[in-house]
Amino acid sequence: MPVDRATRQAWLIWTTAVIIYVAAVFHRSSLGVAGLQAGERFGVGPAGLGTFTVLQIGVYAAMQIPTGVLVDRFGPRRVLTAAALLMGLGQLLFAVAHSYPLGLTARAVLGLGDAMTWVSVLRLVAAHFPARKYALVVSFSAALGALGNLVATVPLTLLLGSVGWTLTFLVAGGATAVYALVTARLRDHPAGAPAPETEPIPLRTVLHRVATAWRVPGTRLGFWVHFTTMFAPAVLGLLWGFPYLVRAQGMSEHAASSLLSVLVIGALVGGPLLGGAIGRRPELRMPLVGLYLAAAVAVWAVLLTWPGGRVPAPLLVVAFALISLGGPASSIGFALARDYNPLHRVGTATGVVNVGGFVATTVSALGIGLVLDRAGAAAPAQAFRVALLVVVAVLALGIWRTIVWWHRARAAVFAAAERGEDVPVQLRRRRWELQPA
């Protein structure tokens, strides 16, 4: 188990690991402001452009459970090192690609490397920090990861305009690949702590471990929390926010990239605040999720029903600021996975949870692209208004399933407490909750 207090070595290891996560978020988000250039470079329309993100995020989502198993088997140090090499290779390939198939291959390789970063960082945090600091460090890590997103807005727009596509992505890919030399020096567990078991795991055992993690109500709740909170800011920041602001809202490219940075600033500010709050009072986790989801419903109702479709810029800033808090809120899903699973299964459970948001992002990004393609010559404002209904549909599904598993997870906690077992959070039974039979 982690030591009782965070050591200097723990913070050094965390710093080394979180830098590669910042790089991963940058690479993941780099198509956000480069999307229009990518469409011209590869000669594709909205659906083809959406396929870049769908493929990259689809690979990411598909790799989360295997990544959790790899982290549990080989340790986060080796997995992070492989992630840096793969991301560097993918971005280098994207820099020189001119054909659409080669561009897709590059984004798939990039998604593969990206998929290995966050679960590895969380496993390092779980191993090196005490449980009471886990939520805070995870939220702070996610907030710092947003710096990669910030670099992928205005700074990347300026770089693409000055030095061009190839040199920009060559430098980014090369720097990431070289950083693998640094991640190779990480420690999987604190000095003096027993090393976790790393014997080869048969496929049957892997499937059993995944199934066991999935059956835990806290893991299932974490999955749906991540599904519902993370995808909207991701869809806007990764691909469709920039075209929406430029084409549907009539903004300049510079103004649009500046507004996208609000998604990052919100995550930077909200992450540590949220992490500190739930670290001190973990019983606030689900009420805060509910508060965010209520705000998200209100935001999308305003954006999609505004008369004429052109939303005033100050209101767009407020809307994007509220949506940005979905990133910090999604970290609650990882805290649930950490609390309700033993340490040897945390990597697997974290991977299961992390699938949620990226499945929602994949479905939303693809759906928006397909609707925009079908819209054809329709006015951009009206086309995006219809296309973004996909986001509303995914949000509604996520809210429904989150409510269902919130009730079931609470029932499991009450049952465990009544059996005299230790529970990670002391909950107070509400009047509307039935007593167990």
Using CA atoms in the order 289, 266, 129, 24, what is the torsion angle rounded to 10 degrees? 110
Could you tell me what percent of the chain has a pLDDT over 70? 88
Give me the domain span that covers residue 311. 8-190+205-418
Give the CATH number, domain containing residue 31.
1.20.1250.20
Going by pLDDT thresholds of 50, 70 and 90, the confidence category of residue 430 is low
Of the listed ranges 11-25, 180-194, 250-264, 415-429, the one predicted with least confidence:
415-429
pLDDT at residue 425 is higher than 60: yes
pLDDT at residue 64 is higher than 60: yes
pLDDT at residue 393 is higher than 70: yes
Domain count within the chain: 1
Predicted confidence (pLDDT) per residue in 339-375, tens digit: 777 766 777 788 789 889 888 988 898 888 888 888 7
Domain assignment present for residue 365? The answer is yes
Predicted confidence (pLDDT) per residue in 72-96, tens digit: 778 888 999 999 999 999 999 999 9
pLDDT at residue 1 is higher than 50: no
Q: What is the average pLDDT score of the chain?
A: 82
51 Cβ contact partners less than 8 Å away, ≥ 6 residues apart: 44, 104, 366, 369
Domain assignment present for residue 428? The answer is no
**Residue 232: its pLDDT value, please?**
92
Predicted confidence (pLDDT) per residue in 246-295, tens digit: 888 888 878 888 888 888 788 778 877 887 777 777 778 888 999 999 99
Predicted confidence (pLDDT) per residue in 124-165, tens digit: 888 888 877 777 787 778 777 777 777 776 778 788 878 888
Predicted confidence (pLDDT) per residue in 306-319, tens digit: 888 888 989 999 99
Domain assignment present for residue 164? The answer is yes
180 Cβ contact partners less than 8 Å away, ≥ 6 residues apart: 81, 82, 84, 85, 88
**Residue 2: its pLDDT value, please?**
46
Going by pLDDT thresholds of 50, 70 and 90, the confidence category of residue 201 is low
Average pLDDT score over residue span 17-26: 90
Domain assignment present for residue 301? The answer is yes
Domain assignment present for residue 116? The answer is yes
Domain assignment present for residue 246? The answer is yes
